[in-house]
Structure 1
């Protein structure tokens, strides 16, 4: 697999982090969002003394407007492609970073930690990896926008507002849900959804994290109480699998929160929870 070169912006962030001498923190987004969804988190962690790096997925457009004008650019991006791209960026850092990810980003950070690349990891509402068995009805409904049509595997799929409201923004008002949809939502590759759906029956799946790696580092799994996309059962099963590692593994559930918890009006509570955990291990 040929890994695309990082963008000029990503290389600039890496260089800035390296030259700062500060502990880097890498933020990994999931499907239907861009790296700009982490902008407030980056500022929050920078204010706490860290150097933020917010890489995209391969070929991600720079802005939501560009993404909506050219949605097909997202098609055919699998989890293996994205993990390799993220790893190439992480390995350019002079210090092993803390890594924070949301949704499929929460799966990707587990994969990177399982390769010994993370000093501390926070997986927020993480998409399921191989070995995570629960499949609640709400998760199936949230994924149905992609899974109901097999041809979507090779397409970039955008959510309708109603699908976004159910999968992401069910725990916020309709007004805020509309604001989030307009500000953040972009199309996403259908490949990861199909990969996750069949991970437990495909022994060669890319959707797997080495939870026993001796250098995995400390890990926190955060779950939103009302998340439809990644319900408690999936997040807690991820924690149960990861806590087989000899390193520190913790779980916390944030009451009243849905899958939009990293971007909605309560984002700072989630960021503070992640910062408190990271700060216990790396500064």
Structure 2
């Protein structure tokens, strides 16, 4: 029997190589994990930084379709684990019946989520402050990364993560998420009422500026009418870098144990 597949989906501004420790952990636990990049991503951080035009204009629908295509080539539906906008993509794939289970870690804002804290606005301002960025790929500065991702770790670690993993990100998904509640056909819409989907776990960082805990909890509550399993785990002292900073293992172990309970390795 083939091993249970796990697909990791990164978010804006972070390269898929950041998932490497998670991939190793899940492989050792008996799963068959992969961490493919977004459409337009290069194989390395350096390659992606050198070719930002390949990412420009990519939106939520294109990214979702890209991962749906990858899943279509697998022998079985996988568990999908996503961070930030990857968490939004994970929810969409689960709602569409393409995943066995999903984990949404500090997930990008889906349609129906109403809280809009100042910290989230400030984190998104480098992109949302210029409407033309909807057609561009935008890079964060080290200072912007420190506020949006690394505020719960020390400055030296934040700067090191910035140098190691950050890449340009398409501006379009942020504009789509920001306008989601004003568009009936928004690509940020997720089938929260799907009663036959697999289990879903939300993970929230209590000090997250990019996706504050109140935003993750609001998304979690949107699933209340579905009888399918939906759970929430909170890490009060963690920020948006929780999947890649020095404390990644604590989060990964909680996620791995949850997955093992809901979808045992085959």
Question: Aligned partners of 1:121, 1:84: CA distance in 2, in Å?
Answer: 16
Question: Contact (CA 8 Å) 1:120, 1:218: kept in 2 or not?
Answer: yes
How many matched pairs? 264
1:228-275 CA-partner distances (Å, limit 9, x unpaired): 000011000011012322111111111210000011000111111110
Give the alignment's TM-score, normalised by structure 1: 0.91
Q: In the alignment, which residue of structure 1 is the partner of 2:30? A: 49
1:110 corresponds to 2:91: yes
1:214 offset after TM fit, Å?
A: 2.6
Q: Distance in 2 between matches of 1:266 and 1:244?
A: 34
Identify which of 50, 61, 86 aligns with 2:67: 86
Deviation of residue 215 (structure 1)? 2.5
- Name the SS of the counterpart of 2:110 in structure 1: coil
Partner residue, 1:11:
none
- DSSP 3-state at the match of 2:196: coil
8 Å Cα contact 1:117/1:216 also seen in 2: no
Q: Secondary structure at the match of 2:227?
A: coil
User: 1:73 offset after TM fit, Å?
Assistant: 1.6
Which residue is equivalent to 1:214? 195
1:262 equivalent to 2:243? Answer yes
Q: 1:34 aligns with which of 11, 15, 25?
A: 15
Partner of 1:194: 175
Task: After TM superposition, give the deviation of residue 131 of structure 1 in Å.
Answer: 0.7
Pairwise CA distance, 1:46: 0.2
1-structure distance, mates of 2:209, 2:239: 7
Structure 2: distance between partners of 1:214 and 1:88: 24
2:145 maps to 1:164: yes
- Tell me the SS of whatever aligns to 1:265: coil
1:150 matches 2:131:
yes
Q: Which structure 2 segments of 5+ residues have no match?
A: none
SS at match of 2:207: coil
Indicate the residue corresponding to 1:12 in structure 2. none
How much has 1:132 moved relative to structure 2?
0.9
Could you say which residue in structure 2 is the equivalent of 1:126?
107
* Cα distance between partner residues in 2 of 1:94 and 1:237: 34
Aligned-pair Cα RMSD in Å: 1.0
Stretches of 4+ aligned residues off by more than 4 angstroms:
none
Q: Tell me, yes or no, if the aligned pair for 1:96 and 1:119 is still in contact at 8 Å.
A: yes
Mind listing any 5+ residue stretches in structure 1 that lack a counterpart? 1-19
* 2:33 alignment partner, SS class: strand
Alpha-carbon separation, structure 1, partners of 2:199 and 2:185: 27
**Other structure's SS at 1:230 match:** coil
Q: Secondary structure at the residue paired with 1:67?
A: helix
Aligned to 2:228: 247
- TM-score normalised to the size of structure 2? 0.97
